[in-house]
Amino acid sequence: MLVVENLSVNYGAIKALVNVSCRVDQGEIVALIGANGAGKTTILNTISSIVPAAAGRVLFEGEDITKTAPHEIVKRGVCQVPEGRRVFSKMSVLENLEMGAYIRSDKKGIAQEMERIFHLFPRLAERKKQLAKTLSGGEQQMLAMGRALMSQPRLLLLDEPSMGLAPMLVEKIFEIIGEINGTGTTIMLVEQNAHMALSIAHRAYVLETGQIVLEGPARELAENPEVRKAYLGE
How confident is the model over 60-73, as a mean pLDDT?
96
Strand partners, 217: 203
Domain at 2-231, CATH from 3.40.640.10, 2.60.120.620, 3.40.50.300, 3.40.50.2300 = 3.40.50.300
pLDDT score at 234:
59
Cα 119 to chain centroid, rounded: 20
Higher pLDDT, 154 or 109: 154
Q: Would the pLDDT of 223 be above 90?
A: yes
Q: Would the pLDDT of 103 be above 90?
A: no
Higher pLDDT, 192 or 54: 54
Q: Would the pLDDT of 226 be above 80?
A: yes
pTM of the prediction? 0.93
pLDDT score at 16:
95
Residue in 59, 61, 62, 1 with CA at minimum distance from that of residue 26: 1
Residue 223 CA neighbour count, 13 Å, CB half: 4
Q: Would the pLDDT of 232 be above 80?
A: no
Residue 126: how many other CB atoms lie within 10 Å: 12
